[in-house]
Every structure is written in C-alpha cells, then in structure tokens.
Structure 1
C-alpha cells in the first residue's frame, strides 16, 4: 500500500469526485482509516465486507491488516477501476459492483465475517436494520454514521437519543461509540460530524419472529412517544400487552429499557 499514489492523487487521476445523490463523503487520511481498522480488529484471518469503499481509503487500511478475504460492495461503477488497482493478484480482494441493500452477504463470504464501513449517509440506517434483523449474522460491525445516528444506536434508556434504533440495535448487539470525527476530516466535508459505532452480536440473539414483533412494537411505541403505552400500543394489545410483559401501561416509550421491549415482543395475549 505504501507504493501507491495518495488517495487524492488517485481521485484526480481518474477525474472522480463525490456524488451527493449517493451520500458520498470520502476519508482520505490514511492515519484515520488505519485507526478505524484497529478499532474494528483484530480480524485473525476472518473475512471483512466493506460497503461503499469509494476511493478505497478504508480498503487500503484493511488490506494492511490481518483480515483474510476483503470483499468490497460498491454501488457507484465509477470507482471499480480505481479499486481494482488495489488488487495485488493474491485473490484476497474481491470487488462487487452492486447495491448493498440488495446483496445477500452469506453468498459473499464463507463463515463468520466482519463488516467495516464508512457508510453512505443516505442508506446507513436501512443497511444497519438489514444487518441486525436479516438472516445473516456478522462476527462484528464497525460502522461510521452521522454522529446523530451513531448516538441513536448506542443511546441508553432515558437519553434524548433513545428510541427505536437503540432498542433494535441493542436487542441484537452490544453497541458503543468508539470514535468521533469532525466534518473537516472528510472530502467534501458534510454538514454534520460523524462517529464510529462498534457492534458485537449478543449470543442470545432474539429469534426472527421476536425481532419482527419487536420492530412492530417499537414502531408503534416511538411513533407516538409522547403518549402512554396503553394508547400508543392500542392496536397491538395496549394495556394488556404491557401487563403481560410486566410494564406499566401508563409509562412512555423512552422510559422502557431494551429488556422490557423484548418482553413485550415475546408476550402472548
């Protein structure tokens, strides 16, 4: 990687710039991308999937690491030739030109794999929900979001940022913010700061049916978060559902912890 031209030189040579429609903001500082990879690892030879590699700043750091196969999923075809230049012929790098929302990760890698990505802002949350609730379970996820979204993923009950995304994320994983990044670290700089979240799947991951029910319960509860649960959950059982789960029907969504929402998702009324 040290023999390669800088990321900025590579972008200039290919005449490439970020597309606003794809939510692209590039990390060109390899010191930053190497730090993110260190926070994500060690990989111990396991595969890594990176979504939205763009010019390949994070990719270069991954290829320097102890990762095994590195699979890139890039929607923007402009970057495929540039990323191909990182291939040393060892077979370790694979580039998939596709929409990550439609990709089946289990078909890309054998066995456990990490997800490490500077996610495009416009699809970060849908991708996270896909990985949390879908049939494929990653070994760990280290993902960059807008700072506000990162805070929503890792928020504790009672926090202003606590909501549906925190409940679903933390029902499936242990989640913590491990790095903050100012807007000026990116090219072009976004209007907001960013943060990296590290998520480790829990061994007691809820069953698919429970996760589906959890999505319904949290959507109703936080969709009308100012209302008491007996009202916001009326279509799902209201007070009876709360009482079956040992939750006060007069409570509001932001006061119920993840375990409480899981009990409601499992309750039979």
Structure 2
C-alpha cells in the first residue's frame, strides 16, 4: 500500500515527512526556472509555465472551513433508493460490505441498504437528522453506525488548523476501520450527492486525496458512488471526441479511476435541505423549484489497481498535475511546444519514445497519453533535472 514515507528510499522518505502539499523539487528531478537559466543556454519556447487561469481548478477560500454547510440533496424516492442499493452492492454478499453514506438526511437509502443486511456508516452534518437515523437500526437487518460530521469536509487541504478528532484517521479509528494495501480489493464504498455550490472544488479535493493516498484513500482503493450535475459529469467523462468538455479534471479522473455511468435521475427524486435550516417557505420553495429542473448523474469511480507506478506515485503526482494543467493552458498548441517549456529533456526524443507525433495538439491526446508522456520523462536518465517550475508553482494548495 502506498502511504507517506512507506517503503521509500531514505532521501524521499524525508521529503514526504516534511509535509503534505509540497512539490518535491530535488527528489522528483525538477528545477526552478531561475536555477535552470544558470544551468542551460537553451532558449524558451513561446509557451512559459505561468500560473494559469483555469476555471476547473478552484482553490478553497480562507473562509471555507468556517462557512455554514450549503444546501444538501436528499433522496426521497423509495424505488430510486432500492435501485441505488442494488447498484452499490452488486453481486457480492451485503453482510461483507462496508457502505459509507454522506448526509443521508431522512435515511431513505440507509433503510434500503440495511434491509439487505449491509454494514452501513452514515456521516450526517445536520444534527436534527441524527436521532431519526439512529432509530433506523431497529428496523433493519444490517449494522448501522451514525457519525455527526460531514465526510466531505474531513481533512481540509487548507492551512487552517483542524481539530485532532475531526480527521478521517481519528474518526475511522473510532469506527474500527483498518487500512488495506492498494493492491487489494475495494475496502469500502462511499455514496454521496455532491453539493452543487462547490461541486468542482469537492471533486478536486477528492482527486488530491486519491493521488496522495491521504484522507479516505489511506484505507485503500475506496470506491465512490457520486451524484453529480450534468456539467461536471460531462467534464469528468469527456475525451478528445468531445473537445468542448475535455479538460484537466477529466484527464486526471480518467487516469486515476475506471468510470462507469449508472443512470440519470430527475431533480424531483430529491429534496433539498436549506443551508440555514429554518429558511422562509417562499425561499425554500424557490430553491426546490430550481433544483427540480436539473437532473443528477450517478457515476461509479473505482481507483485503478495499476494507477501508481515507479514514476507516477504519491511523491510525484503534483508534477503530473502541473504538466497536465500547463498543457491545457494552450489546448490547441502542439505538444512539443509545451514540452520545451516543461522539461529540460529533448522533446523530440521524449515524443519518439512515447510514440507521439510532434505536430499533435494537446486536445487530441487521450488521458493515458498524458500519463505515458509523464512517465517517459520521469524514467529518462539523460538529466538529473527533468522538470522546470515557476517558483510560484512549487507549492500547490487546494
């Protein structure tokens, strides 16, 4: 199993222990642009690695951890709940599966899961629902544990201090959940309806946790069942055949996970709990009216067993993120122009080894092609320093 400083060479282990969220400049074979100018006379291309304005990449504002929870969607359709329970459990024995449900509200899906005999843990952020959720165990055949917190807000990647008991490590330890190796099967399945207001930021946060093996992914290849909006569904699943939606978010998710679309549900299948609890009836009615116009898409995201390699792993993933994000800064430019700005290595040699044509543009590359390019550069022995960074990109925080 991958984890911080687990089974790594001493120099790299020290780099990991120095703190999360860092780019491992010397260890990953990277050089800052300032240092690069002192080492080489090769000129720049017209594309420089600048901090790019990317609407897919949203940084958490400083107030995020203190803000009130936003409106949450709850399932109110019994038939839908039974169908989702069937999707999540599959053909496996329900009693041997651990299902985690985020913000279940009235617990319609929770009841459907318990009737099958599954082991269910619910994370509910609104305390008004807690007594009702605890009472569901009496009427079900499975096992139920209720935790009063929001799973999607655990382990924030901002620099604000976090209570020691408000981390996934502390909560999962209390629940008796143990980590398993990454190469093992799926240890648990998580169901969530992503909050519409900050949906993309949540998707980015989960991506960072996945590639770094932090938070819920400390426990192995956790499988996700997420309801997302149509807009984010299109972005996460887009390929070069749909260039209008194809962007950084889709590349990184498709490299990391096997993505399966399950079904679409109309907004009428859900209720909305307002962010301020006691909202005026008129405003709550407006909120419901807007939400019911939009359909939600249920997708299954299963982390790939072979995601991590010698060259792409929790130590080097930030460099991979930087490479993909930089390439989409000018999505219609030939990939060779980006490589001239990103790496100290000869771009023609890299492209030849990766079996790509110099004239190919970024938007024509499939997600796997980006991973292959990255690993080709990483495994090269032509130079100690392989990557070029702007100083402002050496620390990437969500």
TM superposition score category, shorter chain reference: 0.7 to 0.9
Aligned counterparts of 2:195 and 2:84: Cα–Cα separation in 1: 16
Match of 1:62 among 94, 102, 113: 113
Change (3 A) 1:37 1:152: farther
Structure 1 residue 168: Cα displacement: 1.5
Task: Confirm or deny that 1:211 pairs with 2:317.
Answer: yes
User: In the alignment, which of 105, 112, 133 is matched to residue 83 of structure 1?
Assistant: 133
CA contact (8 A) 1:158 1:254 kept: no
* Structure 1: gaps (5+ residues): 1-19
Structure 2 residue runs of 5 or longer lacking an equivalent are 1-67, 156-166, 181-186, 272-287, 379-385, 387-398
Is contact 1:181-1:195 (8 Å) kept?
Answer: yes
Tell me, yes or no, if structure 1 residue 28 matches structure 2 residue 76. Answer: yes
* RMSD between superposed Cα atoms in Å: 2.9
1:261 to 364, 370, 394: 370
Residue among 187, 192, 208 paired with 2:294: 192
**Quick one: structure 1 residues 46 and 249, their matched pair in 2 at CA, closer, same or farther if it must change by over 3 Å?**
same
Deviation, 1:154, is 2.4
Hey, what's the Cα distance between the residues in 1 that align with 2:342 and 2:366? 19
Q: 1:159-198 residue pairs with structure 2 within 5 A?
A: 159-160=242-243, 161-187=245-271, 188=288, 190=291, 191-198=293-300
Q: Which moved more, 1:228-237 or 1:32-41?
A: 228-237
The answer to whether structure 1 residue 48 and structure 2 residue 123 are counterparts is no
CA distance in 2 between counterparts of 1:254 and 1:23 reads 35
The match for 1:74 among 104, 121, 124 is 124
Residue 22 of structure 1: CA displacement?
1.5
Counterpart CA distance in 2 for 1:212 and 1:33 is 38
Is residue 339–residue 347 contact of structure 2 (8 Å, CA) maintained in 1? no
Greater RCO structure (CA 8 Å; 6+ sep): 2
For 2:192, which of 106, 117, 127 is the aligned residue? Answer: 117
How big is each residue's C-alpha offset from its partner over 1:182-221, in whole Å with a ceiling of 9 and x where there is no partner?
2222223525321000122222122223433322222222
Is the 8 Å Cα contact of residues 336 and 359 (structure 2) preserved in structure 1? yes
Q: Is the 8 A contact 1:229 1:251 kept in 2?
A: yes
Taking the aligned partners of 2:320 and 2:146, their CA distance within structure 1 comes to: 35
Give the equivalent residue in structure 1 for 2:328.
Answer: 222
Supply the distance in 2 between the matched residues of 1:88 and 1:31 (Cα, whole angstroms).
21
Structure 1: how far apart are the matches of 2:331 and 2:212? Answer: 26
Contact 2:191 2:225 in 1 (8 A): yes
1:146 to partner: Cα distance: 0.8
Contact conserved, 1:133 with 1:208, CA < 8 A, in 2?
yes
Structure 1 length-normalised TM: 0.78
State which of 212, 221, 226 in structure 2 corresponds to 1:138.
Answer: 221
For 2:207, the equivalent position in structure 1 comes to 129
C-alpha deviation, 1:261, in angstroms: 0.8
